[in-house]
């Protein structure tokens, strides 16, 4: 989830998306579920690695699109 003064500025036309994204938000605050997945590294940097619908859960753990896409691009 993200929060900033400009969050949700253009979601008024996507009512269902906006409503689902704001579930659980604190009244008066502008929080939004982006649908992005990522990680924070040991230096505190945020790495966005894809979208939630594109994540695959395997027996070994979660696979985001970034790793496989980078390996495919390296072969092209």
Q: What is the pLDDT of residue 69?
A: 87
pTM here is 0.55
**Cα(6)–Cα(9) distance, rounded to whole angstroms?**
6
Predicted confidence at residue 60, as pLDDT, reads: 94
What is d(CA 31, CA 23) in angstroms, rounded to the nearest whole number? 9
At which residue do the structure tokens 């994204």 appear?
A: 21
How high is the pLDDT of residue 24? 60
What are the mean pLDDT values of the chain's consecutive 10-residue runs (76 residues total)?
67 57 64 82 92 91 87 89
Specify the pLDDT at position 65. Answer: 86
Reduced 3-state DSSP string for the chain: CEECCCCCCCCCCCHHHHHHHCCCCCCCCCEECCCEEEEECCCCCEEEEEEHHHCEEECCEEECCHHHHHHHHHHC
């Amino acid at each position: 989830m993200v929060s900033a003064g400009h969050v949700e500025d253009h979601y008024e036309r996507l009512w269902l998306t906006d409503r689902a994204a704001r579930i659980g938000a604190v009244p008066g605050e502008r929080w939004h579920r982006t649908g992005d997945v990522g990680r924070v590294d040991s230096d505190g940097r945020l790495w966005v690695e894809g979208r939630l619908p594109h994540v695959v859960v395997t027996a070994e753990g979660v696979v985001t699109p970034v790793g496989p896409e980078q390996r495919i691009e390296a072969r092209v």
